[in-house]
Structure 1
Amino acid sequence: MASYIENKVGISECFLSDILAGHLKENLRALIHNNLLVAAGTGNADKLIHNDKVRSDAIYWLDKKHNNPYENEFFVQIESFIAYLNSSCYAGITGYEFHYSLYESGSFYKNHLNQFQDNSSRQFSMISYLNSNWTERDGGELLVHQAGYDQKISPTQGKTIFFKSNELEHEVLVTQERRMSVTGWLKWD
């Protein structure tokens, strides 16, 4: 993710293999079919707010307790990435949390930072996309606001985005197609 050094947004076009991305997408589709996703909110714990004028996606938290082989494979890859960050950059990451994220057609997430006002444990944000055959007319891009310019990133399958949670405001533009990802944070616990 050399692009992280250049412009504070790391982009790996193939962080997830097509096979793993496909399995995670099937997991998410099964969760959708079984109505297990919940409306996403903003804030944490007692300060959680649901406002579909700000955010209109649905989520489902990944957990090792699910004992899902593909989620566990994803966790192994994340743990390897954390070990690399800690050994090469002295990042001090000690934990992580991830959820599936589903944006149905017409969904969006307005401009925001990925860190709570009363808890700075989220150090890095990561988004791994599960959308094959995505085109520009499908919308749903991640728009990252940088000093002096905006960076628009398409949510194509296998691509993973990585950035500091407290530095870059960003938003998910309105999607015209079902948009799926695994989204989460590398943390200081």
Structure 2
Amino acid sequence: MKNQFDVLIDSYLENKIGIDSRFLDAALSEGLQQNILQLQKDKLMKVAGIGNELIMDAEQKMRTDKIHWLEEKTDNRFEQEFLSKMHDFIGYLNRTCYTGINACEFHYAVYEEGSFYKRHIDQFKNDDNRKFSMINYLNDNWIEEDGGQLLVYKDAVVQKILPHSQTTVFFKSNEMEHEVTKANRPRMSVTGWLKRI
């Protein structure tokens, strides 16, 4: 019997980039999207940084998105459901692929019109705890002209992924260079890392 996580894991094993267009159900995706809109209204989304506290990029030329970190001890029901799903996924990933993941961290991300994130890799040079990157998209009715595509560089091939609502993308943090093209409308996601610490 197929597990709910097999689509994402099987596509990762086949292509080194896991994609599941229905990883989040519609109600959860909508609830998380509404959380971002409320955070924006309350001015709680902050300009994202580059690097960790030891190697911070002060000039911010690489990215222009805004973020808000999710807390494990949240009382928001959509965040609780999302984090529970992530922990279930980690458990299944560890049982089936022996990854040894024992932690995770996620944040809301919004790319306002004109925002981007240049080509980069997710693992810090001075910290290799991040093992897998996961991006969970929350955007309804996204089309090519809206921009904001995720470009993933794999060997000599560039894979372009539209940030459609409910879609999740999964890849190794130290292997896949990627970027977000300039968004022509607000683009929302919950993005994070599966870690071994």
RMSD: 0.9
Give the 4+ runs in structure 1 shifted more than 4 A.
none
- Paired position in structure 1 for 2:3: none
- Paired position in structure 2 for 1:172: 180
Aligned residues of 1:141 and 1:155 also touching (Cα < 8 A): yes
Structure-2-length-normalised TM-score: 0.94
Structure-1-length-normalised TM-score: 0.97
Matches within 5 A, 1:127-166: 127-166=135-174
Instruction: State percent identity of aligned pairs.
Output: 49
- Rounded Cα–Cα distance in structure 2 between residues aligned with 1:51 and 1:133: 34
Correspondence 1:105 to 2:113:
yes
Correspondence 1:19 to 2:31:
no
- Rounded Cα–Cα distance in structure 2 between residues aligned with 1:51 and 1:61: 21
Q: Deviations over 1:78-135 (max 9, x none)?
A: 0110001100000000000000000001100000000011100000000000000111
Deviation at 1:5, TM superposition (A): 1.6
Aligned residues of 1:59 and 1:99 also touching (Cα < 8 A): yes
Aligned length: 189
Deviation at 1:46, TM superposition (A): 3.5
Amino acid at match of 2:11: S
- Rounded Cα–Cα distance in structure 1 between residues aligned with 2:72 and 2:49: 23
Structure 1 unaligned blocks of 5 or more: none
Structure 2 unaligned blocks of 5 or more: 1-7
- Paired position in structure 2 for 1:188: 196
SS in 1 for 2:54: helix
Aligned residues of 1:40 and 1:50 also touching (Cα < 8 A): no
- Rounded Cα–Cα distance in structure 2 between residues aligned with 1:64 and 1:170: 27
